[in-house]
Amino acid sequence: MKKNLYLFKRLNKYRKKLEIKKKSTIKDIANALDLTPSAVSKALSDHPRISDKTKEAVRQMAIELDYQPNYLSSALRKGKSNLVGVIIPRVNSNFFSSVVQEMEDVLNANGYNMLMTQSNELYKKECQSIDSLLGIQVDGIIASMANETINLEYYEKIKSKGVTLILFDRGEDELKVDYVGIDDYKSSHLIVEHLVSQNCQKIAHIAGFNHTRIYKDRIIGFRDAMEKARLPIHEEMIIESNLRVEDGRRIMKELLALPERPDAVYAAGDYAALGALQVLLEESIKVPEEIALVGFSDEPFTSLVKPSISTINQHSNQIGKLAAEAFLERMKNPKKKTSLNKIILTPELIIRESSNKNVL
Question: Residue 212 contacts by C-beta under 8 Å, 6 or more apart in sequence?
Answer: 145, 147, 149, 170
With residue 6 as reference, give the H or E element that holds it.
Answer: helix 2-19
pLDDT of 107 higher than 90: yes
pLDDT in tens, 39-96: 988 888 778 889 999 999 988 888 888 887 765 555 555 567 889 999 999 998 999 9
What is the 3-state secondary structure of 19-57? HCCCCCCHHHHHHHHCCCHHHHHHHHCCCCCCCHHHHHH
| CA 331 to each of CA 54, 107, 162, 167: distance values in angstroms, whole numbers, following the listed order | 32, 12, 11, 15
Give me the pLDDT at residue 12, please.
57
Q: How far apart are CA 199 and CA 15, in angstroms?
A: 77
* Residue 26 banded pLDDT, cuts 50, 70, 90: confident
**Model pTM score:** 0.79
pLDDT in tens, 165-210: 999 999 998 999 999 999 999 999 999 999 999 999 999 999 999 9
User: What letter represents residue 40's amino acid?
Assistant: V
For residue 288, whether the previous peptide bond is cis, meaning omega lies within 30 degrees of 0, is yes
Could you give all domains of the chain from N- to C-terminal order, each with its CATH number? 2-69 (1.10.260), 80-181+316-344 (3.40.50.2300), 184-314+349-359 (3.40.50.2300)
pLDDT of 122 higher than 60: yes
CA 312 to mean position of chain CA atoms: 17
DSSP line for 296-343? SS--GGGGTSSSPPBEEE--HHHHHHHHHHHHHHHHHSTT------EE
What is the 3-state secondary structure of 62-111? HHHCCCCCCHHHHHHHHCCCCEEEEEECCCCCHHHHHHHHHHHHHHHHCC
Contact 112, 84 (CB under 8 A): yes
Q: How far apart are CA 217 and CA 155, in angstroms?
A: 21
Average pLDDT over residues 220-248: 97
Average pLDDT over residues 106-113: 94
* CA-derived radius of gyration, the chain: 27
Contact 355, 292 (CB under 8 A): yes
User: In this predicted model, which residue has the larger pLDDT, 292 or 47?
Assistant: 292
pLDDT of 98 higher than 70: yes
Q: How far apart are CA 146 and CA 88, in angstroms?
A: 8
Q: Is 205 left (phi over 0), alpha (psi -120 to 50) or beta?
A: beta
pLDDT of 343 higher than 90: yes
Average pLDDT over residues 285-314: 97
Give me the pLDDT at residue 75, please.
53
Q: How far apart are CA 248 and CA 251, in angstroms?
A: 5
- Count of CA atoms in the C-beta half-sphere (13 A) of 335: 0
